[in-house]
């Protein structure tokens, strides 16, 4: 049963080691219910496809793992698609060459391969920090991409299908289902894995291990002086983040039943995962998931609207980044810009006109500054 506790003067409830206020508990319940009813909601509209949301959740889950590294150790990885792709290709290889049909065994293989890959890349990359670390992770990611692209055993640019056994698809609970049922069941499997993954990540970020990572992220030298094994702790965080990427990649392969280098290992995919974490709010637990769904949805809708969908996606993302500097979820939290503005509006409705004037003045100022910069670039004078 939930236990009532006091959290910094605010009444909260503790259950299975998770402490939440009443407001947070309400959001948690709404979020979980929403995840489970998405297939029903998607069935009401042709523009809202379950496969798009599902894919966004999978990449967002990889971003949740990257977030551990980004938020607490202040390390930016440009090659996290390496673990996503490793998990996906491990699943494909097990299905294609070992004849493994069980989804559970395929996911275990993806986790094992991603763990080994993260351990190796971590040992070789974490000797450096900052830009050198970022470039090393990018280099390792591209190396894996080149290997997948050049090896005929991995299908080259055509990729590998994942259709083992007479059923021609991975088996859930030892049973082959029709494509529609398989899509729904793998979605719910993803939701369950995500909830378990978020719970595990929550416990990690509430543990002394997180405090050690925060200390390392703030000042490595001081952390070393107080006796923290800096490299070992950061390596452990790197491996954990890689495991999340591997799980997401394995599920991606099981769902799509096809793996290609461009979709899983290409460096732009690493950029997407990094941006999802920032867009959703890298200082929050579930923010990267929201960022993943939003980014994939924007890319999908943009392709239906215009051939210049990258431009459209870029404009929308610029608006989101400038309007929500703490990320989408971070801005909605108490103290965030959205929450603050709503409180101001509730206290004084006339403030709306003031915001309009401020926004127009800000736009005019930015346009004037841009024209001045352009004049200086073209003519060399102000």
pLDDT for 186 equals 93
pLDDT-derived band at 10, boundaries 50, 70, 90 = confident
List, in order, residues 6 or more apart from 239 with CB less than 8 Å away. Answer: 115, 118, 119, 122
Q: Are residues 173 and 268 in the same domain?
A: yes
Structure tokens at 41: 């909601």
For position 342, what pLDDT does the model report? 66
Distance (Å, whole) CA 4 – CA 21 = 10
**pLDDT, position 373:** 78
Start-to-end Cα distance in the chain? 69
Q: Does a structural domain hold residue 81?
A: yes
pLDDT in tens, 214-256: 999 888 889 888 888 999 999 999 999 999 999 999 999 999 9
Residues 6+ apart with CB under 8 A from 192: none
Query: Is residue 63 scored above 90 in pLDDT?
Result: yes
Question: Cβ neighbours of residue 51 under 8 Å, at least 6 residues apart?
Answer: 183, 255
The 10s digit of each residue's pLDDT in 127-181 is 888 888 889 999 999 999 999 998 888 988 888 988 887 778 888 888 888 888 8
Same domain, 312 and 355: no
Give the residue from 276, 265, 239, 241 showing the smallest Cα distance to 90. Answer: 265
112 with 70, same domain: the answer is yes
Q: How many domains does the chain divide into?
A: 2
Q: Residue 87: is its pLDDT beyond 90?
A: yes
pLDDT grade, residue 312 (50/70/90)?
confident
Looking at the fold, whether 272 and 360 belong to one and the same domain comes out as no
Residue 31 domain-assigned?
no
Q: Which sign, positive or negative, has the C-alpha torsion 301, 260, 125, 244?
A: positive
Please report whether residue 231 resides in a domain.
Answer: yes
354 and 265 in one domain? Answer: no
Q: What percent of the chain has a predicted confidence (pLDDT) above 90?
A: 33
Indicate whether 214 and 250 sit together in one domain: yes
Enter the tokens of residue 264: 């899983």
Q: What's the CATH code of the domain at 84?
A: 1.10.3470
Domain range enclosing 166:
48-337
Please check whether residues 204 and 353 belong to one and the same domain. Answer: no
H or E element that contains 310: helix 309-323
Check whether residue 287 and residue 358 sit in a common domain. Answer: no
Q: Which tokens sit at 188?
A: 């719910």
Read off the pLDDT band of 260 (50, 70, 90). Answer: very high
Residue 203 within any structural domain of the chain = yes
Q: Which residue has the higher pLDDT, 14 or 266?
A: 266
What pLDDT sits at residue 299?
83
241 and 358 together in one domain: no
More confident residue, 89 or 287: 89
Q: Which pLDDT value is given to residue 16?
A: 72
DSSP 260-306: -HHHHTSHHHHHHHHHHHHHH-TTSSSHHHHHHHHHHHHHHHHHHH-
Do 272 and 361 lie in one domain? The reply is no
Contact 248, 84 (CB under 8 A): yes
108: nearest Cα among 230, 193, 204: 193
Rounded Cα gap, residues 355 and 105, in angstroms: 56
pLDDT attached to residue 376: 77
**Do residues 148 and 82 lie in contact, with contact meaning Cβ atoms separated by under 8 Å?**
no
Is 240 in the same domain as 366? Answer: no
The Cα 334–Cα 336 span in angstroms is 5
- Please give the residue that has the higher pLDDT: either 365 or 255: 255
**C-alpha span between 59 and 269 (Å, rounded):** 9
Reading the block at residue 53, the tokens are 């949301």
In contact, 65 and 239? CB cutoff 8 Å: no
User: Mean of the per-residue pLDDT values for the chain?
Assistant: 85
Is residue 189 situated within a structural domain? yes
Q: What's the pLDDT tens digit per position in 335-364?
A: 556 666 666 666 666 666 776 777 777 777
In a domain, 219, yes or no: yes
Q: Taking 90 as the threshold, does the pLDDT of residue 263 lie above it? A: no
What gap in Å lies between CA 206 and CA 202, rounded to an integer? 6
User: Which residue do the tokens 């409180």 mark?
Assistant: 343
Supply the angle between the helices 337-347 and 351-379 in degrees, to the nearest 10: 130
Positive or negative CA dihedral for 261, 262, 264, 266?
Answer: positive
> Which of 33-37, 54-58, 163-167, 218-222 holds the top average pLDDT?
54-58
Determine, yes or no, domain membership for 114.
yes
- Residues 312 and 351: beta-carbon distance below 8 Å: no
CA distance linking residue 291 with residue 267, whole number of Å = 18
Q: Are residues 97 and 218 in the same domain?
A: yes
What residues have CB less than 8 Å from 367, skipping those under 6 apart? Answer: none
Rounded distance, CA 56 to CA 51, Å? 9
- Residues 112, 37: Cα–Cα separation, whole Å: 32
Question: Is residue 27, in this structure, part of any structural domain at all?
Answer: no
pLDDT higher at 17 or 198: 198
Nearest to 314 by CA among 330, 295, 328, 293: 295
- 188 band by pLDDT with thresholds 50, 70 and 90: very high
């Amino acid at each position: 049963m939930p236990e009532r506790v006091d959290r910094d003067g605010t009444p909260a409830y503790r259950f299975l080691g998770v402490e939440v206020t009443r407001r947070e508990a309400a959001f948690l319940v709404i979020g979980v219910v929403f995840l489970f009813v998405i297939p029903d909601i998607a069935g009401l509209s042709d523009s809202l496809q379950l496969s798009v949301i599902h894919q966004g959740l999978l990449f967002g889950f990889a971003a949740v793992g990257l977030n551990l590294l980004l938020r607490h150790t202040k390390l930016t990885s440009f090659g996290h698609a390496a673990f996503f792709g490793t998990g996906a290709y491990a699943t494909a290889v097990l299905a294609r060459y070992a004849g493994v049909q069980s989804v559970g065994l395929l996911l275990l293989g993806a986790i094992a391969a991603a763990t080994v890959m993260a351990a190796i890349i971590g040992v070789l990359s974490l000797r450096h920090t900052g830009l050198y670390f970022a470039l090393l992770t990018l280099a390792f990611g591209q190396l894996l991409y080149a290997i997948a692209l050049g090896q005929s055993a991995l299908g080259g640019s055509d990729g590998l299908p994942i259709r083992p056994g007479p059923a021609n698809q991975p088996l859930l609970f030892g049973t082959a289902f029709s494509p529609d049922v398989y899509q729904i069941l793998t979605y719910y499997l993803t939701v369950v894995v995500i909830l378990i993954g978020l719970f595990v990540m929550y416990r990690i970020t509430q543990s002394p291990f997180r405090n050690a990572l925060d200390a390392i992220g703030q000042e490595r030298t001081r952390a070393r002086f107080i006796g923290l094994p800096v490299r070992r702790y950061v390596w452990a965080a790197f491996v954990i983040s890689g495991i999340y990427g591997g799980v997401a990649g394995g599920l991606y392969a099981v769902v799509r039943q096809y793996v290609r280098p461009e979709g899983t290992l290409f460096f732009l995919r690493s950029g997407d995962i990094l941006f999802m974490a920032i867009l959703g709010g890298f200082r929050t637990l579930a923010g990267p998931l929201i960022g993943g769904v939003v980014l994939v949805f924007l890319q999908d809708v943009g392709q239906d609207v215009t051939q210049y969908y990258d431009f459209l996606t870029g404009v929308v993302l610029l608006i989101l980044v400038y309007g929500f500097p703490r990320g989408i979820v971070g801005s909605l939290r108490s103290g965030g810009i959205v929450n603050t503005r709503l409180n101001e509006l509730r206290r004084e409705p006339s403030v709306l006109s003031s915001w309009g004037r401020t926004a127009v003045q800000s736009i005019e100022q930015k346009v004037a500054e841009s024209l001045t910069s352009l004049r200086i670039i073209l003519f060399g004078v102000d």
